[in-house]
Amino acid sequence: MSEKTELSPKMKKLIELAAELEDLGHVNALLGWDQQTNMPSGGAEERGLQMAAVGRIMHEKFTSEEVGALIADLEDEIGDLNAETDQARSVKVAKREYDKQTKVPLPLLMDTIQTTTMAHGAWEEAKSKSDFSIFKPHLEKIVDLRKQYAALFEPYDHVYDPLLDDFEPGMKTAEVKEIFNILRPQQVELLQAIAEKEPPDNSFLKQHYDEERQEIIGRYVITRFGYDWNRGRLDLAAHPFTTQFGQGDVRITTRYLKDDAGSALFSTMHEAGHAMYAQGIPRKYRRHPLSGAASLAIHESQSRLWENLVGRSKEFWTFLYPSMQMLFPQYLANVSMEDFYRGINKVQPSFIRVEADEATYNMHIMLRLEIEIGLMEGTIDVADLPEIWNAKMEDYLGITPPNDSVGVLQDVHWSGGMIGYFPTYALGNLASVQLWDKMLETHPNIPDEIAQGKFDTILGWMRENVHQYGSKYEPQEIMLKATGSKITPEPYIKYLNQKYSDIYHL
């Protein structure tokens, strides 16, 4: 079937429905963005009701018998939903989502939206006061709601599967465990080798850098990367995130820490990676069934690639370091580029996931996966989480958080009900290196271009090999098309060993 084939009346109807649902989804995203950037704390309850009202309209529109009949008719009309056409894949995506959403009763959806909206404010207060008890009743209800949700998809191989599938379509808990079982011992071996070496000095970062100048450098970097300010903006949030209200409005947030100048810059790069993916989805998919991303792991592959493979590379700092020294001479005038590069790549087990170096980051994810599986299986109680968290931090990273704020309360995800999300961070790390390696095969001059502040080859390759597909293909299909392989840990392990052997003279 040609992509230019005239759309049937039913296909047009599906696309019109997708457009309306996307508009409503973006209204809810705008309410959520405002909640995390501007809303006073007193607005939480009513905001929850507002978001639930929009969620109810979306759910009722999409799960009607009329929509079910439309999808079934289109399935018959098209035949092979795996065919390489936008029409076939649009119906496949719609059918997958319809089959999931029709299993979810409206009261459960409403309860979940209201509960998570209230939980976000409770999490912010609990984190600021380092008091888990404030968040505990909210999280207990969220875990119960997630168990109810998972039960709707029985029979399953594992209770965690339905939650993981929401963020990583087609991925099973057993597959993630298998990947992590390969990854963990090799990362532990690397960390042990690094621990025997003299660590680089990064004290120059642990100062109070002027926030206005931090913003200047962050904006400059992501502008050079290719972030489109005509379709985006940068704001502050307690936990950095990216959101969008359409292809013409993709927003990012960051945060400034008083004792870590790297935090805002690297989180800004990270969020810009997400945003450039969203900005890069073709205009033909605007308000369309295929307008989304392939998955969260593919999304993370973009953010981690720009943050780490570009942003923490020696070539990048060959380009940017003179500007950093000019903006912050009091801290960097006497720090060589080589010492700066080694310092920003210092391996040091840390409490905060989003501040973690590349060598320890995946350990944070494995810890969270174990805890989430335990919560869903019922082998871990929410009340015991602070102690369990601290014990696992000691086991995985050899450190114990001094308080709940930098321990069990550090991530925003559970307050939003996003159990099943964390594995996509590690999967995204693995995918980022596979994409990078393939890109360098085609464009071996990219490191030289980075050193000159030129990034359009990278963005262009991603546009062609990842962004242009929207959600037309499942994540593993994207990886096979782009790299010839599904997500696998070996390239990432090789990358880490090469990088840190150079920095630590292993």
**Rounded Cα gap, residues 191 and 204, in angstroms:** 23
Q: Per the residue annotation, which of 271, 355, 372, 474 is the catalytic one? A: 271
Reported as half-sphere exposure (CB side, CA atoms, 13 A), residue 342 has a value of 14
Centroid of chain to Cα 280:
16
How buried is 445 (Cβ within 10 angstroms: 0-12 exposed, 13-18 middle, 19+ buried)?
Answer: exposed
Catalytic-residue membership of 16: no
Strands 242-244 and 234-236: unpaired
Reported as half-sphere exposure (CB side, CA atoms, 13 A), residue 71 has a value of 23
Q: Which residues contact 244 (CB under 8 A, 6 or more apart)?
A: 26, 29, 250, 251, 275, 278
257 - beta bridge partners? 260
Task: For the sheet with 234-236, list strands across it.
Answer: 234-236, 250-254, 242-244
Alpha-helical runs (H) found in 291-357:
296-304, 314-327, 329-332, 337-344
**Rounded Cα gap, residues 242 and 235, in angstroms:** 10
Helix (H) or strand (E) holding 396: helix 385-397
Cβ atoms within 10 Å of 453's Cβ, excluding its own? 15
Which sequence positions are flagged as catalytic? 271
